[in-house]
Amino acid sequence: MVFETRRTLEQGLADVMKVIGMISGTSFDAIEAVAVDFSLTDRVIEAALLGHVSVPYSDELRDRVAQVLPPHATTIEEVCKLDTLIGQSFADVAVSLADQHCDGIVDVVCSHGQTVYHWVHDGHALGTLQIGQGAWIAERTEATVVCDVRSRDVAAGGHGAPLVSLLDVLLLGQNPPNVRGALNLGGISNITVVGPSREPIAFDIGPANALMDAAVMWLSDGSEHYDRDGERAARGVVDETFLARLLDDPYYAAPAPKSTGKEHFHREYLLEKLSSLDIGRDDLLATLADLTARTVASAVREYGVTELFVSGGGTRNAHLMRLIGGYLSGVSVSLVDELGVPEAAKEAALFALIGFLTVHGIAGSVASCTGARRASILGTIIPGRQPTVVVAERDEPTRIILRSSLSTEVESV
């Protein structure tokens, strides 16, 4: 099936679309959004990145999101209110991006929204909840909106994560001559691995910034959010007892595919692991950075990756990147920018791609990566200014060519 807007049908431009992709990740630091001009010819997608913005949540919204996340208790009233407030914030960003880069008109907006709960039990994902009501985005932009992108993969037996494996596989190649990996260092670290004669795999490795951020917020009473450039960690010394306690978590040894989140790696988890240990502030950060670097390196080594492309906010933590490089001697480590997409724009570009595929009736998940029974067309579609029309069936793409001359714009709300 292919879904198109009537405008594109009449003009015969079925495979050319302007799409906005948006996400606020597990760190709930900012709404990342890109505008992309897509075209699909045969089985090759060409994607020109027209603009990227990173718009921090307001302090009030950020605090309210923090308060609904596990292990806090919340109310349905607060979830409903946040669903609206986040949806409206995403709508503001979409409108501004559309005005700046698309003459005010986009065909599709795909919004990941904000994950508030990812339900994993006995190694299986049973549910996942992203909020940020898409109707507000449809109302403001008049575009077809795709949201709730993880649930279908979960219903098909998958983890609904890491969805970025779709873009990774297209960027890295499905059957490259060497084993290549794409690593994302967000709140959680995740990796996609492709190689000769093997099915691609992907999984969440463990905490990337989640525990480091929790430690900084705890130590600073909420006035600081992260260890800028890893400066604290660089001054500290690893506490081997604490590190051993952290590494003792059974999540690391569990088989892939697997997913995790801040339901598991949060401040109370950190405080429980710390119990009775007396560790200096910088040493605490040094140990947490080492935990991330070691678990990442162990995943990279386990799958024999020789070429690694890294993205996510953790790439801006110079100390963490030095550690990872140190543990991975012999592995080529570079930013994903080498593959044509600026690291900060990668996740939003993924959701733009999912939106484009969904309205064309093409699956947006990679079953071997999420652990699903089959690949699914992702998301819930909210009609925009034009009715959504089914027109034809398409083969899934096998390649993506990304063009970008972007620098990231950071805006304040």
Q: Is the peptide bond before 257 cis (omega within 30 degrees of 0)?
A: yes
106 binds, among Mg ion, ligand ATP, none (CB under 5 to 8 A by kind): none
Torsion angle of C-alpha atoms 77, 79, 81, 85, degrees rounded to 10: 170
Nearer to Mg ion by Cβ, of 186 and 206: the residue is: 186
Minimum distance of ligand ATP from residue 178's CB (angstroms): 25
Nearer to ligand ATP by Cβ, of 25 and 397: the residue is: 25
Burial of 370-391, coded b for 16+ CB within 10 Å and e otherwise, reads: bbbeebbbbbebbebebeeeee
The single-letter code of the amino acid at 355 is G
Total binding residues toward ligand ATP, as defined by CB under 6 A = 22
Minimum distance of ligand ATP from residue 50's CB (angstroms): 21
Nearer to ligand ATP by Cβ, of 83 and 213: the residue is: 213
Q: Determine, following the binding rule CB under 6 A, whether residue 165 of this chain makes contact with ligand ATP.
A: no
Minimum distance of Mg ion from residue 30's CB (angstroms): 5
Backbone φ, ψ for residue 103 (5° rounding) = 50, 30
C-alpha–C-alpha distance, residues 204 and 25, integer Å: 14
Q: Determine, following the binding rule CB under 5 A, whether residue 27 of this chain makes contact with Mg ion.
A: yes
Of the residues 148, 153, 227, 290, which one makes contact with ligand ATP according to CB under 6 A: 227
Of the residues 38, 90, 226, 269, which one makes contact with ligand ATP according to CB under 6 A: 226
Coil, strand or helix at 206: strand
**Residue ranges in 83-122 that form contacts with ligand ATP under rule CB under 6 A:** none
Torsion angle of C-alpha atoms 104, 110, 116, 119, degrees rounded to 10: 180
Q: Determine, following the binding rule CB under 6 A, whether residue 228 of this chain makes contact with ligand ATP.
A: yes
Residue 51 in tokens: 């603009």
Q: Determine, following the binding rule CB under 5 A, whether residue 26 of this chain makes contact with Mg ion.
A: no
Coil, strand or helix at 376: coil
> Are 204 and 162 a contacting pair, CB within 8 Å?
yes
**Residue ranges in 308-347 that form contacts with ligand ATP under rule CB under 6 A:** 312-314, 316-317, 347
C-alpha–C-alpha distance, residues 333 and 377, integer Å: 33
Q: Determine, following the binding rule CB under 6 A, whether residue 27 of this chain makes contact with ligand ATP.
A: yes
Minimum distance of ligand ATP from residue 389's CB (angstroms): 32
Minimum distance of ligand ATP from residue 157's CB (angstroms): 23
Q: Determine, following the binding rule CB under 6 A, whether residue 187 of this chain makes contact with ligand ATP.
A: yes
Q: Determine, following the binding rule CB under 5 A, whether residue 25 of this chain makes contact with Mg ion.
A: yes
Q: Which stretch binds Mg ion (CB under 5 A): 27-35, 204-212, 227-235, 365-373?
A: 27-35
Burial of 194-231, coded b for 16+ CB within 10 Å and e otherwise, reads: bbeeeebbbbbbbbbbbbbbbbbbebeeeeebbbeebe
Binding site for Mg ion (CB under 5 A): 25, 27, 29
Q: Kindly list the residues in this chain that would bind ligand ATP in the complex (CB under 6 A).
A: 23, 25-27, 29, 184, 186-188, 209, 213, 226-230, 312-314, 316-317, 347
